[in-house]
Protein backbone atom coordinates (compact mmCIF):
# COMPACT_ATOMS: atom_id res chain seq x y z
CA UNK A 1 0.00 0.00 0.00
CA UNK A 2 1.54 3.29 -1.09
CA UNK A 3 1.70 6.36 1.11
CA UNK A 4 -0.68 9.31 0.75
CA UNK A 5 1.61 12.27 -0.02
CA UNK A 6 -0.61 15.02 1.46
CA UNK A 7 -0.07 13.39 4.85
CA UNK A 8 3.60 14.42 4.72
CA UNK A 9 5.33 17.76 5.08
CA UNK A 10 8.81 18.61 3.78
CA UNK A 11 10.41 21.99 4.41
CA UNK A 12 13.70 23.40 3.12
CA UNK A 13 15.63 25.54 5.65
CA UNK A 14 17.66 28.40 4.21
CA UNK A 15 20.73 27.56 6.31
CA UNK A 16 22.08 25.36 9.09
CA UNK A 17 20.85 27.71 11.81
CA UNK A 18 17.27 27.40 10.61
CA UNK A 19 17.63 23.62 10.33
CA UNK A 20 18.74 23.43 13.97
CA UNK A 21 15.82 25.65 14.94
CA UNK A 22 13.39 23.07 13.54
CA UNK A 23 14.86 20.53 15.94
CA UNK A 24 15.07 22.89 18.93
CA UNK A 25 11.64 24.51 18.69
CA UNK A 26 9.63 21.31 18.24
CA UNK A 27 11.69 18.42 19.67
CA UNK A 28 10.80 15.09 18.13
CA UNK A 29 8.43 16.61 15.57
CA UNK A 30 10.88 17.20 12.71
CA UNK A 31 13.47 14.86 11.22
CA UNK A 32 16.20 15.62 8.67
CA UNK A 33 15.87 14.33 5.11
CA UNK A 34 19.21 13.90 3.30
CA UNK A 35 19.58 11.72 0.20
CA UNK A 36 16.31 9.94 0.91
CA UNK A 37 17.49 6.57 -0.38
CA UNK A 38 16.12 4.75 2.70
CA UNK A 39 13.16 7.01 3.47
CA UNK A 40 11.76 6.91 -0.05
CA UNK A 41 11.65 3.11 0.06
CA UNK A 42 9.52 3.30 3.21
CA UNK A 43 7.37 6.05 1.69
CA UNK A 44 6.70 4.00 -1.45
CA UNK A 45 5.75 0.99 0.69
CA UNK A 46 3.45 3.06 2.89
CA UNK A 47 5.60 2.35 5.95
CA UNK A 48 7.11 5.79 6.61
CA UNK A 49 5.59 6.55 10.00
CA UNK A 50 7.10 9.97 10.63
CA UNK A 51 5.40 12.74 8.65
CA UNK A 52 7.38 15.96 9.19
CA UNK A 53 10.78 16.36 7.53
CA UNK A 54 13.20 19.12 6.58
CA UNK A 55 15.72 18.78 3.77
CA UNK A 56 19.42 19.16 4.63
CA UNK A 57 20.56 18.36 1.09
CA UNK A 58 21.55 21.94 0.22
CA UNK A 59 23.34 22.78 3.49
CA UNK A 60 26.94 23.52 2.49
CA UNK A 61 28.11 23.17 6.11
CA UNK A 62 27.41 19.42 5.94
CA UNK A 63 29.35 18.84 2.73
CA UNK A 64 33.00 18.39 1.87
CA UNK A 65 35.95 16.28 2.98
CA UNK A 66 38.38 18.15 5.25
CA UNK A 67 41.93 16.85 5.57
CA UNK A 68 44.41 17.78 8.31
CA UNK A 69 47.65 16.16 9.43
CA UNK A 70 45.75 14.30 12.16
CA UNK A 71 42.44 13.35 10.58
CA UNK A 72 40.04 13.25 7.66
CA UNK A 73 36.56 14.59 8.40
CA UNK A 74 33.66 13.70 6.13
CA UNK A 75 30.70 16.04 6.05
CA UNK A 76 27.53 14.13 6.91
CA UNK A 77 26.25 14.71 3.36
CA UNK A 78 29.30 13.12 1.73
CA UNK A 79 27.96 10.67 -0.85
CA UNK A 80 29.27 7.20 -1.55
CA UNK A 81 30.45 8.39 -4.95
CA UNK A 82 32.49 11.16 -3.31
CA UNK A 83 34.01 8.60 -0.93
CA UNK A 84 34.95 6.30 -3.80
CA UNK A 85 36.65 9.09 -5.76
CA UNK A 86 38.69 10.61 -2.93
CA UNK A 87 42.37 9.73 -3.31
CA UNK A 88 43.25 10.02 0.40
CA UNK A 89 40.37 7.74 1.40
CA UNK A 90 41.45 5.26 -1.28
CA UNK A 91 44.99 5.19 0.09
CA UNK A 92 44.42 5.38 3.86
CA UNK A 93 40.86 4.11 4.39
CA UNK A 94 40.35 1.57 1.59
CA UNK A 95 37.66 -0.42 3.43
CA UNK A 96 35.38 2.61 3.41
CA UNK A 97 35.83 2.94 -0.35
CA UNK A 98 35.04 -0.74 -0.85
CA UNK A 99 31.93 -0.36 1.33
CA UNK A 100 30.84 2.64 -0.75
CA UNK A 101 31.24 0.59 -3.92
CA UNK A 102 29.21 -2.26 -2.37
CA UNK A 103 26.30 0.02 -1.45
CA UNK A 104 23.41 -0.21 -3.93
CA UNK A 105 23.87 0.86 -7.54
CA UNK A 106 25.29 4.01 -9.12
CA UNK A 107 22.11 6.02 -8.53
CA UNK A 108 22.13 5.16 -4.81
CA UNK A 109 25.84 5.96 -4.56
CA UNK A 110 25.27 9.37 -6.14
CA UNK A 111 22.47 10.26 -3.71
CA UNK A 112 23.04 8.24 -0.54
CA UNK A 113 25.11 9.84 2.23
CA UNK A 114 27.46 8.53 4.89
CA UNK A 115 25.63 10.50 7.58
CA UNK A 116 22.28 9.15 6.48
CA UNK A 117 23.64 5.60 6.55
CA UNK A 118 24.72 6.08 10.16
CA UNK A 119 21.53 7.72 11.43
CA UNK A 120 19.28 5.27 9.60
CA UNK A 121 20.85 2.82 12.06
CA UNK A 122 20.39 -0.37 10.07
CA UNK A 123 22.50 -3.23 11.48
CA UNK A 124 22.96 -4.41 7.87
CA UNK A 125 24.47 -1.15 6.56
CA UNK A 126 27.68 -1.47 4.53
CA UNK A 127 29.80 1.51 5.62
CA UNK A 128 29.40 1.44 9.45
CA UNK A 129 31.58 -1.67 10.02
CA UNK A 130 34.45 0.06 8.21
CA UNK A 131 33.89 3.27 10.20
CA UNK A 132 33.95 1.30 13.46
CA UNK A 133 37.15 -0.50 12.51
CA UNK A 134 38.73 2.85 11.67
CA UNK A 135 37.81 4.17 15.14
CA UNK A 136 35.59 6.93 13.75
CA UNK A 137 34.29 9.81 15.85
CA UNK A 138 30.96 11.55 15.22
CA UNK A 139 30.39 15.29 15.39
CA UNK A 140 26.92 16.28 16.64
CA UNK A 141 25.48 19.78 16.64
CA UNK A 142 22.46 21.49 18.18
CA UNK A 143 21.49 25.11 18.74
CA UNK A 144 23.04 24.72 22.21
CA UNK A 145 26.47 23.71 20.91
CA UNK A 146 28.58 20.88 19.52
CA UNK A 147 29.82 17.61 20.98
CA UNK A 148 31.77 14.58 19.81
CA UNK A 149 31.20 10.90 20.53
CA UNK A 150 33.13 7.76 19.56
CA UNK A 151 31.14 5.96 16.91
CA UNK A 152 31.48 2.67 18.80
CA UNK A 153 29.34 4.16 21.59
CA UNK A 154 26.69 5.73 19.33
CA UNK A 155 24.27 2.86 18.65
CA UNK A 156 22.57 1.56 21.79
CA UNK A 157 19.92 -0.80 20.35
CA UNK A 158 17.98 -1.52 17.20
CA UNK A 159 17.27 1.89 15.60
CA UNK A 160 18.33 3.53 18.87
CA UNK A 161 21.28 5.89 19.23
CA UNK A 162 22.82 8.62 21.38
CA UNK A 163 21.40 11.41 19.24
CA UNK A 164 19.22 13.91 21.06
CA UNK A 165 16.02 15.17 19.48
CA UNK A 166 17.60 18.60 19.00
CA UNK A 167 20.85 17.32 17.43
CA UNK A 168 22.06 16.87 13.88
CA UNK A 169 24.95 14.67 12.77
CA UNK A 170 27.31 17.03 10.97
CA UNK A 171 30.54 15.11 10.43
CA UNK A 172 32.50 11.87 10.75
CA UNK A 173 36.13 12.15 11.81
CA UNK A 174 38.66 9.45 10.87
CA UNK A 175 42.09 9.54 12.58
CA UNK A 176 44.95 9.21 10.13
CA UNK A 177 46.61 6.31 11.92
CA UNK A 178 46.06 3.56 9.37
CA UNK A 179 49.30 3.44 7.37
CA UNK A 180 50.83 0.67 9.48
CA UNK A 181 47.62 -1.38 9.48
CA UNK A 182 46.46 -4.20 7.24
CA UNK A 183 42.85 -3.83 6.08
CA UNK A 184 40.24 -6.53 5.41
CA UNK A 185 36.63 -6.00 4.29
CA UNK A 186 34.15 -8.64 3.16
CA UNK A 187 30.42 -8.46 2.45
CA UNK A 188 28.47 -11.69 2.08
CA UNK A 189 25.12 -11.36 0.32
CA UNK A 190 22.81 -13.20 -2.03
CA UNK A 191 24.36 -11.46 -5.04
CA UNK A 192 27.62 -9.73 -5.87
CA UNK A 193 25.90 -6.34 -6.10
CA UNK A 194 22.76 -4.52 -4.95
CA UNK A 195 22.13 -6.95 -2.11
CA UNK A 196 21.60 -6.40 1.61
CA UNK A 197 24.35 -8.15 3.55
CA UNK A 198 23.91 -11.44 5.36
CA UNK A 199 27.22 -10.77 7.11
CA UNK A 200 29.52 -7.78 6.74
CA UNK A 201 33.05 -7.93 8.22
CA UNK A 202 35.63 -5.16 8.56
CA UNK A 203 38.94 -5.56 10.32
CA UNK A 204 42.31 -3.88 10.64
CA UNK A 205 45.39 -5.28 12.32
CA UNK A 206 49.00 -4.38 13.01
CA UNK A 207 51.43 -7.29 13.14
CA UNK A 208 54.76 -6.82 14.92
CA UNK A 209 57.26 -9.60 15.62
CA UNK A 210 54.66 -12.10 14.35
CA UNK A 211 52.17 -11.00 17.04
CA UNK A 212 49.01 -8.90 16.97
CA UNK A 213 50.10 -5.48 18.21
CA UNK A 214 46.73 -3.87 17.45
CA UNK A 215 43.42 -5.05 16.03
CA UNK A 216 39.92 -3.65 15.49
CA UNK A 217 37.05 -5.80 14.26
CA UNK A 218 33.48 -4.80 13.40
CA UNK A 219 30.56 -6.73 11.96
CA UNK A 220 27.17 -5.94 10.49
CA UNK A 221 24.01 -8.08 10.22
CA UNK A 222 24.93 -10.19 13.26
CA UNK A 223 23.36 -8.18 16.11
CA UNK A 224 20.69 -5.49 16.67
CA UNK A 225 23.40 -2.90 15.94
CA UNK A 226 26.56 -2.76 13.88
CA UNK A 227 28.97 -4.21 16.40
CA UNK A 228 32.56 -3.49 17.42
CA UNK A 229 33.85 -6.82 18.72
CA UNK A 230 36.05 -5.66 21.58
CA UNK A 231 36.01 -8.98 23.46
CA UNK A 232 37.31 -10.78 20.40
CA UNK A 233 39.95 -8.10 19.93
CA UNK A 234 41.12 -8.61 23.53
CA UNK A 235 41.66 -12.32 22.88
CA UNK A 236 43.93 -11.47 19.95
CA UNK A 237 46.10 -8.62 21.23
CA UNK A 238 49.65 -9.65 22.00
CA UNK A 239 49.17 -13.15 20.59
CA UNK A 240 50.79 -14.85 17.63
CA UNK A 241 48.30 -15.85 14.95
CA UNK A 242 48.52 -19.62 15.28
CA UNK A 243 45.79 -22.25 15.24
CA UNK A 244 45.25 -22.01 18.98
CA UNK A 245 44.75 -18.24 18.84
CA UNK A 246 42.45 -18.51 15.84
CA UNK A 247 40.34 -21.13 17.62
CA UNK A 248 40.07 -18.95 20.74
CA UNK A 249 39.14 -15.92 18.64
CA UNK A 250 36.43 -17.85 16.78
CA UNK A 251 34.91 -18.96 20.08
CA UNK A 252 34.99 -15.40 21.45
CA UNK A 253 33.36 -13.99 18.33
CA UNK A 254 30.56 -16.57 18.35
CA UNK A 255 29.79 -15.62 21.97
CA UNK A 256 29.96 -11.89 21.21
CA UNK A 257 27.55 -11.69 18.27
CA UNK A 258 23.83 -12.45 18.31
CA UNK A 259 22.49 -13.06 14.78
CA UNK A 260 18.86 -13.92 14.07
CA UNK A 261 16.87 -15.87 11.52
CA UNK A 262 15.24 -13.56 8.99
CA UNK A 263 14.16 -13.43 5.35
CA UNK A 264 17.77 -13.11 4.13
CA UNK A 265 19.52 -15.79 6.17
CA UNK A 266 19.62 -17.92 9.31
CA UNK A 267 21.39 -17.34 12.59
CA UNK A 268 23.34 -20.60 12.16
CA UNK A 269 24.63 -19.54 8.75
CA UNK A 270 25.63 -16.09 10.01
CA UNK A 271 27.52 -17.54 12.97
CA UNK A 272 29.45 -19.90 10.73
CA UNK A 273 30.24 -17.26 8.10
CA UNK A 274 31.28 -14.65 10.68
CA UNK A 275 33.70 -17.09 12.30
CA UNK A 276 35.08 -18.15 8.92
CA UNK A 277 35.61 -14.53 7.89
CA UNK A 278 37.44 -13.87 11.15
CA UNK A 279 39.74 -16.82 10.49
CA UNK A 280 40.37 -15.68 6.92
CA UNK A 281 41.09 -12.16 8.17
CA UNK A 282 43.62 -13.40 10.71
CA UNK A 283 45.41 -15.70 8.28
CA UNK A 284 45.46 -13.03 5.59
CA UNK A 285 46.97 -10.31 7.80
CA UNK A 286 49.40 -12.81 9.33
CA UNK A 287 50.68 -13.83 5.90
CA UNK A 288 50.99 -10.23 4.79
CA UNK A 289 48.68 -10.54 1.82
CA UNK A 290 47.04 -7.15 2.45
CA UNK A 291 48.46 -3.67 2.91
What's the pLDDT at 289?
Answer: 61
> Are 51 and 132 contacting, i.e. CB atoms less than 8 angstroms apart?
no
User: Does pLDDT of 290 surpass 80?
Assistant: no
User: Does pLDDT of 29 surpass 80?
Assistant: yes
Half-sphere exposure of 150 (CA within 13 A, CB side): 7
Q: What is the mean pLDDT of residues 204-217?
A: 96
Q: Which fold has domain 60-175?
A: 3.30.465
Residue 135's φ and ψ, nearest 5 degrees, are 60, 45
Q: What is the mean pLDDT of residues 236-245?
A: 97
User: Does pLDDT of 282 surpass 60?
Assistant: yes
Q: Global pTM?
A: 0.95
User: Does pLDDT of 6 surpass 80?
Assistant: yes
Domains 5-55 and 60-175 share a fold: no
User: Does pLDDT of 281 surpass 50?
Assistant: yes
What's the pLDDT at 150?
Answer: 98
**Alpha-carbon gap, residue 116 to 228, rounded angstroms:** 20
User: Does pLDDT of 172 surpass 60?
Assistant: yes
Helix or strand (DSSP H, E) at 206: strand 199-208
What's the pLDDT at 41?
Answer: 86
**Alpha-carbon gap, residue 144 to 25, rounded angstroms:** 12
- Start-to-end CA distance of the chain, whole Å, equals 49
**List of residues 6+ apart from 8 with CB closer than 8 A:** 43, 48, 51, 52, 53
User: Does pLDDT of 158 surpass 90?
Assistant: yes
Q: Which fold has domain 5-55?
A: 3.30.43
User: Does pLDDT of 262 surpass 90?
Assistant: yes
User: Does pLDDT of 291 surpass 50?
Assistant: no
Q: What is the mean pLDDT of residues 161-166?
A: 96
**Alpha-carbon gap, residue 108 to 188, rounded angstroms:** 19
Q: Grade residue 194 by pLDDT with cuts at 50, 70 and 90.
A: confident
Spans of all domains in the chain: 5-55, 60-175, 182-286
User: Does pLDDT of 266 surpass 50?
Assistant: yes
Q: What is the mean pLDDT of residues 29-44?
A: 92
Mean pLDDT of the chain: 95
Q: What percent of the chain has pLDDT over 90?
A: 87
- pLDDT tens-digit series, residues 94-146: 999 999 999 989 999 999 999 999 999 999 999 999 999 999 999 999 999 99
What's the pLDDT at 45?
Answer: 86
Q: Grade residue 1 by pLDDT with cuts at 50, 70 and 90.
A: low
| CATH architecture of the domain with residue range 182-286 | 2-Layer Sandwich (3.30)
User: Does pLDDT of 191 surpass 90?
Assistant: no
Radius of gyration of the chain (CA): 19
Please, where are the H alpha helices in the chain? 16-25, 39-44, 80-85, 87-92, 94-102, 106-111, 114-120, 127-133, 230-236, 243-256, 267-286
* β-strands 182-188, 199-208 pairing: antiparallel
Amino acid sequence: MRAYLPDYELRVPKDLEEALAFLANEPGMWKPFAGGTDLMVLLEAGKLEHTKFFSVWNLAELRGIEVTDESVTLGALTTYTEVRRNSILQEEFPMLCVAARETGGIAIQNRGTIGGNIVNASPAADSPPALLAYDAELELLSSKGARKIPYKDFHTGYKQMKLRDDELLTGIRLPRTTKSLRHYYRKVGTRKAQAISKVCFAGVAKIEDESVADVRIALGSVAPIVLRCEKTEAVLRGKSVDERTISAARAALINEIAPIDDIRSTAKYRLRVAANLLEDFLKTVRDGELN
